[in-house]
Amino acid sequence: MKILGEDKLATSLPVCDLVALVRERAENDCDKTYISFLEDGETVSNELTAGALEIRARAIAAFLQERRLAGERAILIYPPGLDYVEAFYGCLFAGVWVDRLRRRPLPPDDQRRHEHHPARRGLHLRGQHSRRRVQ
């Protein structure tokens, strides 16, 4: 991932969190590329503007807030890419905690069997005593 102006991030903006940063960038640099996904570490395969990220994050946040999920915990299960970034910021905008999930890579012969399984992608919410999946 490459973020617009990451070398100046800490000193140039008077923001206190990532949500405020995205909102500020969407307001001031709406059409500039904000995040680029580097497929092989060098080649840009997908880009997202600050404005598009804010719009998508707000839509995801609205979805989560309609279900009264603020304060809940979520595990984001996505392949590397911008879908994960959108879901992550959507959770931040909604006040949903994102848990980190460490996953071992599957052996090559198991990859194909699991890549289309419905539980392999999406947003999983974890409450105190239950687990729910949101699509």
Residue 96 tokens read as: 């949903």
Predicted pLDDT at 129: 41
What the chain holds in terms of domains, given with CATH numbers, is 2-134 (3.40.50.980)
Is it the case that residue 6 has pLDDT exceeding 80? Answer: no
Name, in order, each residue with C-beta under 8 angstroms of 72's C-beta and a sequence gap of 6 or more. Answer: 96, 97, 125, 126, 127
Predicted pLDDT at 43: 87
CB 53 within 8 A of CB 35: yes
Is it the case that residue 21 has pLDDT exceeding 50? Answer: yes
CA 135, CA 127: separation in Å to the nearest integer?
Answer: 16
More confident of the two residues 43 and 135? 43
User: What's the chain's average pLDDT?
Assistant: 76
State the pLDDT confidence band at 39, using cuts at 50, 70 and 90: confident
Whether the pTM exceeds 0.85: the reply is no
Q: What is the pLDDT of residues 80-119, one digit of tens each?
A: 889 999 999 999 999 999 887 666 666 665 555 555 554 4
Predicted pLDDT at 17: 84
Length of the chain counted residue by residue: 135
